[in-house]
Structure 1
Amino acid sequence: MGIFPPCSSSEMLEKLLGTVCGKIRDSPQIEKRKIKGTVVLRKKNFMGMTDVGASFLDRVYEIFRKGVSLQLISATHADPENGSRGKLGKEAYLESWGSKFTSLSANEDATFNITFDWDESMGVPGAFLIKNHHPSQFYLKLVTLEDVPGIGQLQFVCNSWVYPAYRYKYDRVFFAYKTYLPCNTPEPLRAYREDELINLRGDGSGMLKEWDRVYDYALYNDLGSPEEGRPVLGGSQEFPYPRRGRTGRRPNKKDPKIETRLLLLNLNIYVPRDERFSQVKFSEFICSSFNSLGQVLIPEIGAVFNKTINEFDNLQDIHKLYKEENNLPDSRPLRNTRECLPWESFKELLHVSGGRPFKFPKPDIIKNDETAWKTDEEFGREMIAGVNPVIIRRLEEFPPASKLDPKVYGNQNSSMTKEQIEKNMNGLTVEEAIAGNKLFILDYHDVLIPYLRKINKTKYTRTYASRTVLLLQDNGTLKPLAIELSREQDDVNVYDPISQVFTPSEHGIENSKWQLAKAYVAVNDSGYHQLISHWLNTHAAIEPFVIATNRQLSVLHPIYKLLQPHFRDTMNINALARHTLINAGGILETTVFPARYSMEMSAVIYKNWNFTEQALPEDLLKRGVAVKDPNHRHGLRLLIEDYPFAVDGLEIWSAIKDWVTDFCSIHYETDDMIQGDSELQSWWTELREEGHGDLKDRPWWPKMQTKDDLIQTCTIIIWVASALHAAVNFGQYPYAGFLPNRPAVSRRFMPDTQEHAELEKDFHLFFLKTITAQFQTLLGVALIEILSQHSTEEIYLGQRDTSEWPKDEEKEAFARFSTKLVTIENDITERNKDQGLRNRNGPVKMPYTLLYPNTSDDSKKGGLTGSGIPNSITI
C-alpha cells in the first residue's frame, strides 16, 4: 500500500460525492435499478481473420454458462471487509454472445449489451473487474454505461487484450476514463491503482508468456550466441546501453550471461500483449516483407548466370531493378486485412507488368532526374534535407582538430590546408568565412578512427574516416570544398593516420576521385545514420521510457495519458529488430560498413548520449548551426536559413511544447505538486537509475522538481518518438532506395597510381566495384523499403485513436495542437513552392516532406509516402 500526500485540488469534489452518496445510502429506502451498457471488443483472430475455431469453442462455453462477466467497483463507497477497497457490485454477463454473428474480418468490432444491478449503496462506479471464462482471448476496446445516477454516461476506454481468467494470478481491472494524480485518487480506488502497477512490474523471474503483462528490463544480451563473439551491451562502462524489455528466456548453456535466441522464422518474441502489432499491421508487415524480399530473390538467381557474379556491370543494371512509373502500383501494404494474408502475398510476388516481375518502386531521388544525385549541390543539400540531417555542424577552427587522445591514437588533427579550400571559396578567405559563420563540416573522423582498424580487417570492408568541409553560399546552398579521407597505418605500432585530401574537379582522374571521395563520405553517413541517428537515438533510447511509464505511472495518471500514444508498437518493432536486424550476422551487419562491430560501436558512442540534447533547440545550438536570438521565432536564429529539417522541425517542436505546456498546466498548478507526485518521482528515478542506468550519474538529467522540468522532459520524449524518428526513418527509401546515392559499404580503397588505367577506362564500373556489392545492395534496398512504409493503421501526430478526453480543457488544448499542425502543413507546402529556397527541392526536384505531419484523411493510405509523422516509433 503506497502513501499518498495530501492534496488540495479535486479531493474536495470526491469528498462531496462521497457525502452525497453516503446520505443516499443511509436513507431508509434503498433504490434499486438497472444500469445498461455496451461492450465493444474484437474476437481472437488468426492471419487476418476471426479465429473460427476459437469462436466456436467460446459459444460452447456460453452454453455451460461460462461467459464474460464484469463487476462494477465503487469509487465512493469502500468495503471494510475487503481492505477498504471500493465496494463490488454483482457480476453481470455479456448478452447474446452465442447467438450474435460477428464478421470474419480481424479489424471488425463486435458490440454486446450488458445490464448491471445497481443500488444506492454502490455509490458512483469508478472501475470494473472483468473475468473471461472463455477458452480464447479477445481485445476489449470500450465499455460505456448509460444513465449512471448522478453522472449520466460513463466510459471506460480499455484497449487491452483480455485472456482467459485462469491465465492470470489476479483480477483484471479497468478504470473509468478519468484522470487523477495519486493524491487525488478516490480512496476506494487507491489499492486497485497500486495493485495494477505491481502486477505490471512482475517479480523479475521466469520466462514470460504472451498473456503476461509484465514490463521489465534486461541487457542487450540476446544479439548472438557465445561462439559469435558479440559482447553484452549494457551493464558495463565499456559497453553501456539503454535497457530493453525482458523476455525471461533461459540462459545459453555455454555462457549464462547470454540469453538463448529463437529460431529465425519464429517471430513470437515476448513483448507485453498490448504492445504487439495489431493483426492488420502484422499482416501488412508480413506482406510487404514478402514483396521486398522477393525483389531480392530474382536478380540474385539471374546473377548466377552473369559473367560478373554479385556485381552490377553498369548503372543501367541498377536502374533495371525499378519498375517504370505507371506500370505497377507503388509497393505498399494492401488496403485491407484479407488482401494482406500471407497466401495472398504470393500473388503480389508473382505480379507481372510488361514482362518485368519483382520490381522495386522507383525512389524519389531518381524520379525526376536520373543524374542529379551526382551533383555537388545535392551532396551538400542532403546534409540538411536528407535522411540524416542531424550531424552537420559549424566549423569554428581550421584546420579541424581531433579530440582523440594523441597518446593513444597519435596525431589525428586534419591535414587540410587553406590553399586546398580557398580556391573554391568564391573569393573569401578561411578567416572571413569562419568569422561570417559560413564554414560547416560533416565529421565522422573521431567516431570511426578507434574502430577503423578492426572494421577494415573484416572480409568485405575497406573504408575511411571522413571529414567534409562546406561553404555556405549567398544563395543558401552548401558548396563542398574538400573531403579528407583517413585510415590506419599498415604498421600496427604507428598511430598517425594515412590521410588524403580531395577537392572538387570537373575533369579526368581528379574528377573521378572526387566522385569516389563523396561515395566514401556517403558510406560513413549511411552507417552512422542507421546505427546511431536512427536505431540508437530513437528506437533504443525510447524503449526504457515505454517500460518505465507502464511500471510506474497508472493509466489514471495524466502523464501516462499524455505519453502513452507515443509508445505504440515500439517494443514490438524493437524486438523484431533484435531478432533479425541488429543481431549477430543479421541484416544490418550484412549491409552497413562496420559489419560485426556495428552494435559494439554504437554502445561506445552511447557514452556521449545526452537526454537534454535530444531537444531540437539544444541540438541545433550544440552543433553551432543556430545561435540564441530573442528577436527570432523560437528564440533561435538559424545560421543556415534554408535548413529544411531545422525550419520545419522547430515549428513541430514548438507545437509539441505548446501542447505539453497546456496539458501539464491543467494538472499541475505549482512546482510543489510535481515534487509531491509519488508516481511521477518514481517514474523519473527508475528511468535514470534503471532504464538508462549506465548513464545515471550524468549531471545533465533534469531534476524533475519543477513544471518546466516536466514540460521539457515530455516534449523531448514526444519529439524523439514522433518527429525525430519520422525525419530519420521515412526518407530512407526515397533517398537511399537508389543505393549509388547512399552506398552503405565500400570494398576497396581509393585507387593508387597503378589502378588509374582501370579508373579511366570505365569510371562507373570502378565505382560499382568500390561500393556495395549486388546482394548487399538488393538486401539493403529491400530492408529500407520495408522500414520506410507507413501502415494503413498509422496514427499521426495530432490524431488519436479515441475522440474522448477525461477533461474538456484537455480536449480543447489538443484541438489547438491539431490546428497548429494543419497550419504547419500548409506552411511546408508553401515553402516547398518557393523557388528561392533551393534546399527545399534541390537539383533532384524532390520536395522536403519528412516533417509534413499528414493530418488529413488521406493519411490512411499507407505505403511509401515519404511524408507523415506517426505518433510513435512503429516501424
Structure 2
Amino acid sequence: MEVYTVTVATGTSEYSGTNNYIFVTLVGEKGESERTLLDNPGLDFCRGAVDQYKVTSSSHLGPIQLVRLEKQRYWLEDNWFCRYVTVEPPGGGTVLTFPCYRWLIGDIKVEIREGTAKTVRDDSSPQLLAHRKTELQERKTTYRWVTWAPGIPRCIDAKTEADLPQDVRFDNEKRSDFEHSLQYALLELSLKKMAIRFGKSWCDLDDFKRIFWRLRSPIAEYCMEHWKEDWFFGYQCMNGSNPRMIQRCKKLPENFPVTPNMVQSSMAPRTNLNKEIKAGNIYLLDYAVMDGIPANTIRGKIQHIAAPLCLLYQHPDDGLIPIAIQLEQNPDKDTPIFLPKDPPLAWLLAKMWVRHSEFQVFQLLSHLLRTHLVVEVFCVATLRQLPAVHPIYKLLAPHLRYTLEINCRGRTQLISPDGIFKRVVSTGGDGLLILAQREYKVLTYRSLNPRHDFDDRGVSRLPKYFYREHSLMLWEAIFSFVSGIVNLYYQSDHDVQEDLELQAWIRDITQEGFTELPNFGLSSKLSTREELSILLSVAIFTSTAQHAATNNGQFDWCAWVPNTPCTMRHPPPTDKDAVTMEMIMATLPDVSQSCVQMAITWHLGRAQPDAIPLGKYTEDHFTEKQAQELIDKFRMELKKIEDNIVSQNEGLELQYLFLLPSRVENSITI
C-alpha cells in the first residue's frame, strides 16, 4: 500500500470555501490512486484553509501527472475556489505543486497538471497531450469572440458581466466595493445637485468650487488654483491623463496659418517661430480625429464639439506653453486663431475648448480603445489558445485579471446607448463609436511600443516629460523580465516557430481580435524570440503602465470641471472680442453634468482597495526555481525604479507619481 500526502489550499477571498464533498484522485504514469473523500463537509475547505490528507494506492503510481478534483453537493450547492494542490510521494521526496486557481461550480470534475511550465513540444505523454487538447476545446467553447460594434477590436461574447464565467469575474469583495463606490459617488452627486438647485446656478468660475465636498485630491485642488496658467496647460499635455497626444511640429500644417508675427510676443528674445521650429522647440496638438463627429443631445439640447489645433513652444524660461489655438480644422473668417495676447477671457475659453477635446480623446481613445479594448484581445486569445501549463499563459494570466468584467461593465454602463456618456458627454451616443472607429483605423502595433511612440512623435528631448521618463524605465524592466522568461522556455527561434499553440494564439490575436486592420503591422506568425518578447512586453506594458498613466489621474485633472469639461453647451466662439464670462458659463457643463463628471472620474480614477501592484503575483503560476528567480529580479528592478521616482519628485510642488510601480496595477481592473 502506497500512501501519498496531499495538501489542498482554498482561496482567500470571500465565499471561496465550501461545505460540499471534495474528492481527489491521483493520476500517475502507472495508474490511479483510490478516489478519496477529503473532508468532513462543512469543517474543512474553509476560506484560506490549507488542509492536509492521506491518499492511498495499492501500487506505486510512478510520476504523478494529474490531480483529479471532484466536487459534489452536500446539502446546498456551494462553489469552491481551489488555489493549488501539492502531492508528496511515499517515503518523502520532491513535493509536486499543481496550480489550480479556478472555481469549481456545481457537481464537477476537473483535472489539473503539475506546475512546471511546458510548451506542447515538451509533452510526450499521450495522456498529457490529450489533457492539453481537452482543456483548450473547453476554453474555446466557453470564451468566444463577438463583434460588439463594427470597426473596433472584437471582444468577449458576453452581453453583461453576468454572462462571464466565474473564473474571470470580480471577487465578491471587489464587486461590493465597485458597486458601493459608484453608489457613494452618485449619492454625493444627488446631494450636491439638491443643495445647489435651491441656491444660485453657475454664475462664475468660482461657483464650481461648490461641488468640492469630500471627493477631492491634492492635485485636483492644485489644478483649481493654477488651471488658467499657460505653463500648467503645457504641463498637462505632457503629464496629464492624455500624455501621448503631443508631437513635435517640424512644419506648420497648411490648415493652421500661424505667422511668425502672430506669436512673436510669446517667443524668447532674439528668436522667432521659424528658428524655433528648426530647433525642435515647437510642438503640436492636432484633434483632427474630432472633426465632424456628431454631437450628443442631452435633455433635448444639442451639445457642441470642436476639432482644435494648438501650437506649443518650449520656452527657455517658462517651459512648454501654448502660443496659438484654432478651434476648427478649416480656417476662415469665423475660425480665428486665438493668441495669448488676445483678451484674457477669449484666450481662456480657447484653452477650455482644447481641454474639452482632450476629455473626449483621452477617455475614448487613449484610455478605452488603446488600453481596455487592446488588452481584451490579448485576454480572449490567451484564454482560448494557451493551456494553463503553457509558459506564456502563466506569464500573462496575472495581467488579465478582471479585465473582461470591467470591459463588460464599461460597455453596458458607460458607453451604451443609455450609459453615462450619453447622459453627460458631448460625444455620447453615436459620436463615441464613430470617434473610436476613426482611431481604430489608424491604430498601429508600433504605436503601442513606447520606445517607438516617443521617437515617432519627436518628443524624446522634451524637458520635464515625466510620463516619458517613467514609461521607458518601466518598459525596460518589463522587457528584460519578459525576455528572461521567453529565453528560459524557448531555446531558439525555431522553438518559437514550432510552438503550434503559440502560433494559434497570434493568429487569434491578429485575425480574430484585431480585425479590419490591414495596416496594424503585427504579423500572424511569430518567428523569433525577440518578436515574442516585444509583443508580450507590449501587452503587459499596456495593461499596467499605459493604463495607469491614462486612468489613475482622471479625477485629479477632471474634478475641476473648467479645466477638462466633459461637454460644451454652446458652439466655439467666432469673435474674440465678444467672449464674456456669461458666454463661458453658458458653454461649460451645467450643475448636473458637472456633478456627474466629478463623481464618475472619482469612481473610476481612485486607488482600488484590492489592487495588486505591478510585479506582485498573488497566484504562483510558475513553480520552477529559475522562473521564480526572474520574478524576484523583476521586483528588485521595480523597487529601484520606485526609489528613483520618489527621489525625482522630492521637493516638487506638483509631483508626478502615476507611474510609481507601487501605484501601477498588475492588470486593468477599473
2:434 to 580, 600, 606: 600
Compared CA separation, residues 173 and 475, structure 1 to 2 (3 A): farther
Corresponding position: 1:91 with 2:35: yes
Q: Is the aligned partner of 1:811 residue 2:628?
A: yes
Q: How far is 1:283 from its partner? A: 1.2
Please state whether the residue corresponding to 2:163 is helix, strand or coil: coil
Relative to structure 1, is the Cα distance of residues 387 and 671 closer, same or farther in structure 2, using a 3 angstrom cutoff?
same
- Looking at structure 2, the residues matched to 702 and 815 of structure 1 have their Cα atoms a distance apart, in angstroms, of 33
Cα separation, 1, equivalents of 2:145 and 2:162: 15
Q: Kindly tell me: are residues 562 and 553 of structure 1, through their superposed partners in 2, closer, same or farther at Cα, counting changes over 3 Å?
A: same
Q: Distance in 2 between matches of 1:578 and 1:643?
A: 33
AA paired with 2:438? V
CA–CA distance in 2 between the matches of 1:479 and 1:40? 57
Between the aligned partners of 1:790 and 1:377, the Cα distance in structure 2 is 28
Q: Aligned match of 2:279 in 433, 436, 442?
A: 436
Q: Which residue of 2 aligns with 1:299?
A: 192
Shift of 1:753: 6.0
Instruction: Specify the alignment match of 2:603 in structure 1.
Output: 786
State the Cα distance separating 1:416 from its structure 2 match. 2.2
Structure 2: distance between partners of 1:792 and 1:381: 29
**2:490 equivalent among 654, 658, 668:** 668
Contact preservation (8 Å) 1:737, 1:784: yes
- Higher alpha-carbon deviation: 553-562 or 111-120: 111-120
Percent of residue pairs identical: 25
TM-score relative to the length of structure 1:
0.72
Question: Which residue matches 1:282?
Answer: 175
Separation in 2 of the partners of 1:576 and 1:292?
17
Corresponding residue for 1:245? 156
Q: Distance in 2 between matches of 1:848 and 1:277?
A: 30
- Shift of residue 570, structure 1, vs aligned partner: 0.1
Preserved contact between residue 394 and residue 622 of structure 2 (Cα < 8 Å): no
Where does 1:323-722 land on structure 2 (aligned, <5 Å)?
359-368=213-222, 370-398=224-252, 400-401=253-254, 413-427=255-269, 428-444=271-287, 446-451=288-293, 459-475=301-317, 477-486=319-328, 498-505=334-341, 510-596=343-429, 597-625=431-459, 638-695=460-517, 698-701=520-523, 703-722=525-544
Does the C-alpha gap of structure 1 residues 488 and 772 become closer, same or farther in structure 2, counting only changes over 3 Å? farther
The 2-side partners of 1:485 and 1:753 are apart by 12
Match of 2:207 in 1: 317
Candidates 121, 139, 142, aligned match of 1:183: 121
CA–CA separation in structure 1 for the residues paired with 2:517 and 2:220: 43
Equivalent AA in structure 2 for residue 313 of structure 1: C
Deviations 1:822-845 (A, max 9, x none): 1111111121126xxxxxx5xxx3
**Corresponding position of 1:72:** 26
Residues 231-261 of structure 1: per-residue CA shift (max 9 Å, x gap): xx22xxxxx11111113x6xxxxxxxxxxxx
Change (3 A) 1:514 1:452: farther
Q: Distance in 2 between matches of 1:802 and 1:698?
A: 33
Q: Which amino acid aligns with 1:89?
A: S
**One-letter identity of the residue aligned with 1:414:** F
Q: Equivalents in 1 of 2:660, 2:477: separation in Å? A: 13
In 1, distance between residues paired with 2:262 and 2:297? 29
Distance 2:295 2:206 in 1: 34
Alignment counterpart, residue 51 of structure 2, candidates 93, 112, 115: 112
CA distance in 2, matches of 1:475, 1:619: 27
Compute the displacement of 1:700 (Å): 4.3
Q: Which blocks of at least 5 consecutive residues in structure 2 are unaligned? A: none
* 185-194 vs 708-717, which moves further: 185-194
SS at match of 1:365: helix
1:362, 1:790 → 2: CA distance? 13
Counterpart AA for 1:438: N
SS of residue paired to 2:668: coil
How far residue 378 of structure 1 moved from its aligned partner, in angstroms, is 0.3
Contact 1:488 1:498 in 2 (8 A): no
2:375 corresponds to which letter in structure 1? I
Distance (Å, rounded) in 1 between the aligned partners of 2:574 and 2:137: 65
- Name the residue aligned to 1:40: 9
What CA distance in whole angstroms lies between the structure 2 residues aligned with 1:747 and 1:438?
35
Whichever residue aligns with residue 396 of structure 1, its letter is K
Q: What are the within-5 Å matches in structure 2 for residues 83-162 of structure 1?
A: 87-100=31-44, 102=46, 108-118=47-57, 120-134=59-73, 135-147=77-89, 151-162=93-104
Q: Deviations over 1:542-592 (max 9, x none)?
A: 111111101111111111111111100000000111111110121123232
Match of 1:218 in 2: 146
- Could you tell me how far 1:702 is from its partner in structure 2? 6.8
Q: CA RMSD in A?
A: 2.6
Deviation at 1:498, TM superposition (A): 4.3
Q: Secondary structure at the match of 2:292?
A: helix
- Partners of 1:126 and 1:830 lie apart in 2 by 50
1:699: how far off?
A: 4.2
Q: Distance in 2 between matches of 1:654 and 1:573?
A: 28
Amino acid at match of 1:814: I
Change (3 A) 1:483 1:136: same
TM-score (norm 2): 0.94
Aligned partner of 2:105 in structure 1 is 163
Distance of 2:45 and 2:529 partners within structure 1? 51
Secondary structure in structure 2 of the residue aligned to 1:647: helix
- In the TM superposition, 1:257-272 aligns within 5 A as 269-272=162-165
How far the C-alpha of 1:150 sits from its partner, in A, is 7.4
Larger radius of gyration: 1
Pick closer, same or farther for the CA change 1:432–1:696 going to 2, 3 Å.
closer
Q: Which shifted more, 795-804 or 496-505?
A: 496-505
Amino acid at match of 2:132: R
Q: Alpha-carbon deviation of 1:109?
A: 1.6
The 2-side partners of 1:550 and 1:367 are apart by 43
The separation in 1 between residues aligned to 2:586 and 2:577, in whole angstroms, is: 13
Q: Which has the higher contact order (CA 8 A, sep 6+)?
A: 2
Q: Which residue of 1 aligns with 2:660?
A: 852
- Check conservation: 1:364, 1:846, Cα contact below 8 A: no
Change (3 A) 1:465 1:753: closer
